[in-house]
């Protein structure tokens, strides 16, 4: 593929490469970003490569990030942004001062940015794209990069269960496994929870509301999150708590933020939710999307709209 060669050439052209991803990173953001950083370090030993952005505690087993104090480093660098559809959500806005910018993403290309773009929604994850790129370009893959990328594919594909999973996904997974990283250790880290998660999950199960049309909603006040050591930004981890019940066709989580607005996570078992998210200023995938609601009135509007959609 031509685009992969172009990306590789840009990496060769620069001495400094900074890999970035979206704010409030998830497993895929971590996997695609750190995976790419470690691949570059392995295959282009003369380059200086950074991965920047705020960490998430629950993903600390994947790896950690670099700090760049000197803004000038960005000016001479190639920035590669993975897993981030919109410019506003790029963690560390200094990216815009970079000498060259490459976008690698699997979300719909709502806001195109960068000098070079590889955007393809047929991939489960940005991590799958990075794994695919490494295999296509015959890069050497260090086990820690394979582990991070594999973890990203697993988390963004619903454990290889979403429709977007293809034979290519498994080809990439197979290539990553060949590096010999410890799969069981990775899954153990991914699946080990804290008891506080159990009590928070209990809160969701005890308090969600269900309409006749199959819409389940839960509004989480900031005080409830604090009780469990959570913030609205960490709520995407709980977005699928109400998944897998026959009677629930769509489930929406509203999490109050410290500024009084609500983070909204839309999920469904079939109904398209991204248009609904877009109507309220957000976006995302067909069956998994997000938005911000400024107040409880809007929360109620979203609930009414979603219920009407399910009733149609």
**Residues making contact with Mn ion (CB under 5 A):** 28, 83, 125, 156
Distance CA 309, CA 84 (A): 28
Report the 10 Å Cβ neighbour count for 2. Answer: 6
Give the nearest distance from C-beta 83 to Mn ion in angstroms: 4
Q: Supply 139's token pair.
A: 């890069």
**What Cα–Cα distance (Å) separates residue 232 from each residue in 111, 226, 276, 297?**
24, 10, 20, 18
Give the nearest distance from C-beta 107 to Mn ion in angstroms: 7
- With a CB cutoff of 8 Å and minimum separation 6, the contacts of 162 are 124
Task: Tally the C-alpha atoms within 13 A of residue 71's C-alpha that lie toward its C-beta.
Answer: 5
Nearer residue to Mn ion within complex by CB, 125 or 298: 125
Nearer residue to Mn ion within complex by CB, 236 or 255: 236
Distance CA 253, CA 242 (A): 9
What is the length of the chain?
Answer: 312
Distance CA 177, CA 143 (A): 8
Of the candidates 52, 48, 84, the residue with the CA atom closest to the CA atom of residue 65: 52
Give the nearest distance from C-beta 126 to Mn ion in angstroms: 5
- With a CB cutoff of 8 Å and minimum separation 6, the contacts of 159 are none
Give the nearest distance from C-beta 154 to Mn ion in angstroms: 12
Give the nearest distance from C-beta 208 to Mn ion in angstroms: 26
Beta bridge partners of 119: 105
Distance CA 119, CA 79 (A): 16
Nearer residue to Mn ion within complex by CB, 83 or 256: 83
Nearer residue to Mn ion within complex by CB, 130 or 232: 130
Closest chain position to Mn ion (CB): 28
Give the nearest distance from C-beta 152 to Mn ion in angstroms: 7
Question: Could you give the 3-state DSSP secondary structure of residue 166?
Answer: coil
209 and 241 in contact (C-beta within 8 Å)?
Answer: no
Nearer residue to Mn ion within complex by CB, 125 or 151: 125
Nearer residue to Mn ion within complex by CB, 125 or 255: 125
Nearer residue to Mn ion within complex by CB, 92 or 156: 156
Nearer residue to Mn ion within complex by CB, 17 or 288: 288
Distance CA 218, CA 203 (A): 9
Give the nearest distance from C-beta 222 to Mn ion in angstroms: 27
Give the nearest distance from C-beta 19 to Mn ion in angstroms: 14
């Amino acid at each position: 593929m031509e685009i992969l060669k172009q990306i590789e050439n840009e990496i060769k052209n620069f001495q400094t490469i900074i890999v970035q991803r979206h704010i409030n990173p998830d497993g895929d953001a971590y996997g695609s970003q750190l995976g790419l950083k470690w691949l570059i370090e392995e295959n282009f030993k003369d380059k200086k490569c950074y991965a920047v952005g705020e960490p998430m505690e629950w993903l600390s087993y994947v790896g950690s990030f670099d700090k760049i104090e000197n803004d000038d480093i960005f000016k001479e660098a190639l920035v590669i942004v993975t897993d981030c559809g919109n410019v506003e959500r790029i963690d560390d806005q200094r990216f815009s001062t970079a000498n060259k910018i490459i976008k690698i993403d699997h979300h719909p290309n709502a806001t195109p940015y960068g000098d070079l773009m590889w955007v393809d929604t047929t991939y489960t994850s940005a991590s799958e794209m990075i794994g695919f790129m490494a295999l296509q370009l015959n890069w050497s893959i260090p086990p820690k990069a394979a582990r991070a990328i594999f973890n990203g594919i697993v988390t963004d594909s619903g454990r290889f269960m979403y429709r977007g999973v293809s034979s290519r996904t498994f080809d990439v997974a197979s290539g990553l496994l060949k590096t010999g990283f410890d799969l069981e250790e990775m899954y153990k880290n991914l699946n080990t929870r804290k008891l506080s998660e159990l009590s928070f999950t209990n809160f969701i199960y005890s308090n969600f509301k269900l309409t006749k049309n199959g819409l389940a909603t839960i509004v989480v006040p900031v005080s409830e999150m604090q009780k469990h050591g959570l913030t609205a930004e960490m709520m995407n981890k709980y977005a699928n708590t109400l998944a897998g019940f026959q009677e629930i066709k769509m489930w929406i989580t509203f999490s109050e933020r410290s500024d009084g607005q609500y983070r909204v996570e839309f999920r469904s078992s079939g109904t398209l939710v991204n248009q609904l998210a877009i109507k309220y200023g957000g976006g995302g995938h067909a069956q998994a999307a997000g938005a911000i609601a400024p107040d409880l009135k809007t929360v109620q509007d979203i609930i009414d709209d979603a219920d009407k959609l399910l009733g149609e």
